[in-house]
Structure 1
């Protein structure tokens, strides 16, 4: 798999599509947020939507010339696991990110919807999961059904990108500087072996790093499953702030586990921590790491330690992705759910639990302190690429 990191645009390109690094906790919570859409509309099945999103991406790649072997290799390299055809009617996931590393709160059920959609897009046949680790089974197993017609193209508009300004190049804002070398950090992260390896190379198709399991996921998949459910919720009268909350929470969970895991890692201690003189430098350090994850180009506009953090995001995968999927401009601005949760999460990492003290990240700490209503920061998106602005702007403030 050829992965092209375009740091000046905040992009990771694989096979012509934008990819983003995300952890198993984000993937689990985002999937659970989508499943909350059950019953909001007659005939709408969020489980089918989760599979359809994967199928659409794979069908797009097949149109661009991908072979079955190309798709299987990319599935593994992106950290989704290892797929194998068992017989004419069955595939198995010998290893599966969604089967082994994600989770569902509540009743166990087959939940490898992405895998099923990936196989369906690859084979051109309806696919359902008949055995699932989450439901107490062994290896994830999928059964093929009848042939299916290709889905309509899901990309409606071209991908519009902009040039990001240099760090701190905001004349209207207070001057800011740091000794944190962003370019060196981006190059170091880009040089890490964050790729799933096949069994022939001693791997299992999973990417384990920073205490989490990572995927190099399809940005279009994330955007499609998120916005299709969110738009349906708002259409039936669910207040937009309530509809977005579960999606923002997924970003908050991601910040705790992935960004927090990075800041507690040996790699951080060895390379980035020596550059940090104060808490503001920790913000600049983790933002530099984010700029190697395919989330767009993050720029720190303002830091008032313990009180306020403002981040601008150029080419955010959510804003750019919304414009690819829907009409040119949205009628609202607070649509970059991951970014809102992640920016709030960075503030909580530094001013709610103080990650600099390496408290040890676990579910108990998350529930008792990080996600505790006491001292919970507000978050607002004031500018949005989805709404026609040149960048996303996220503001989080202490209560």
Structure 2
């Protein structure tokens, strides 16, 4: 029932919106690194915001999508959207005014956590808990703060299926105020300045419509599993983690959280970009135009400018120093929608991704056809003596016209 092709890509702002929610792709490496970084901080109550972030964004989306639908059609819509976005499969047919118990053996979070980290010591599918809360709240007009949702079984823990229970009761996740509308910056961005930029971007423009969940509700692509996130869901995880760490540990908590969030971005840059640059699509549509290491970076930016993350460009580029910008980047716009103005840059995923990209192109043999997209390769990259440093210079959430990050060796 849900059809992503009904939502055209905003080529002017390099963004995609579906039913009131900005949408972005992430890979399973980034999402799992981010989630594990948050969960490792056992001294903060992270479950409340990890569930609440999903519930808030999904409820906003379903409220638009199901406005004039019957209950039966609304349930079909929610099941279809979940599958299309790559989260797995969920059967909601037993949902009732009293809630219900739901099982699934197809879960993006449980499957990819186990692939990446092995067996978990606690259930890890917080997103689906929030998704179910949003469904229950929307379809039966129950306030989110009167809903309890739990996960008792998880395939990442060795169980045969995931099991969730939802019902009325004192809410066990965080609730958030209404968000502001998106505010794009209408400034003129300097282009990448590469003669093949338009050719490559046009070749991939609209490709997002092909990346939809398969029969198992998963999106395998570029050697990773993609998932189409509500941008405000995944970014609220970052922002709330930062806020909680500062509340509990003070200024040191803020510094530590920033480092952990950048590390998750490094993982995205390393695994996702390496997978993309060794894919068949890259070899056919991009690699014929590549002559230098710099071309590999120009080509990568030309491709990811079709992913809904904003417009990436590079101002200076050499092996020892680079200055990247992103106009209307997804992290800053998300922060503005949810929190307003920030006192510090908030674009850890973007900045960490740029850093991982520099390390890949200049400090590995990837461009010579030797992929290193393994866990050990990532550890070696992070332990390397020639390690790039990330300097987050400008941020739209701070009042600047663009994101700017300097990467130095």
Taking structure 1 as the reference length, the TM-score comes to: 0.89
Q: State the distance in 1 between where 2:93 and 2:163 align.
A: 9
CA contact (8 A) 2:86 2:218 kept: yes
Q: State the distance in 2 between where 1:153 and 1:130 align.
A: 25
Aligned to 1:48: 48
Number of equivalenced pairs: 379
Q: State the distance in 2 between where 1:390 and 1:267 align.
A: 33
Structure 2 unpaired stretches of 5+: 67-73, 138-146
Q: State the distance in 2 between where 1:10 and 1:136 align.
A: 40
Aligned to 2:144: none
Choose from 339, 356, 381 the match for 1:345: 356
Runs of 4+ in 1 over 4 A off after TM superposition: 103-107, 147-153
Aligned to 1:72: 79
1:362 partnered with 2:378: no
CA contact (8 A) 2:49 2:174 kept: no
Q: Following TM superposition, by how much is the alpha carbon of 1:189 offset from its aligned partner in structure 2, in angstroms? A: 5.0
Corresponding residue SS for 1:213: strand
1:177-326 equivalences in 2 (<5 Å)? 177-182=193-198, 184-188=200-204, 190-191=206-207, 194-197=210-213, 203-235=215-247, 236-239=249-252, 240-304=254-318, 306-326=319-339
Evaluate the alpha carbon distance shift between residue 228 and residue 186 of structure 1 in structure 2; reply closer, same or farther with a 3 A threshold.
farther
CA contact (8 A) 2:118 2:156 kept: no
CA RMSD of aligned residues (A): 2.2
Q: Deviations over 1:172-224 (max 9, x none)?
A: xxxx73232335434425236643346xxxx2110001110001111000121
Q: Deviations over 1:260-301 (max 9, x none)?
A: 100011111111111122111111110111111111111111
Corresponding residue SS for 1:114: helix
Q: Following TM superposition, by how much is the alpha carbon of 1:121 offset from its aligned partner in structure 2, in angstroms? A: 1.2
Q: Following TM superposition, by how much is the alpha carbon of 1:252 offset from its aligned partner in structure 2, in angstroms? A: 0.5
Q: Following TM superposition, by how much is the alpha carbon of 1:86 offset from its aligned partner in structure 2, in angstroms? A: 6.9
Corresponding residue SS for 1:85: coil
Q: State the distance in 1 between where 2:187 and 2:10 align.
A: 12
Structure with greater strand share of residues: 1
Structure with greater helix share of residues: 2
Q: Deviations over 1:161-182 (max 9, x none)?
A: 02352544xxxxxxx7323233
Structure 1 unpaired stretches of 5+: 169-175
Aligned to 2:398: 387
Q: Following TM superposition, by how much is the alpha carbon of 1:342 offset from its aligned partner in structure 2, in angstroms? A: 0.3
Evaluate the alpha carbon distance shift between residue 62 and residue 21 of structure 1 in structure 2; reply closer, same or farther with a 3 A threshold.
closer
Corresponding residue SS for 1:19: strand
Aligned to 1:172: none
Q: Deviations over 1:119-149 (max 9, x none)?
A: 1111134221121111110121212232567
Q: State the distance in 2 between where 1:389 and 1:284 align.
A: 24
1:123 partnered with 2:130: no
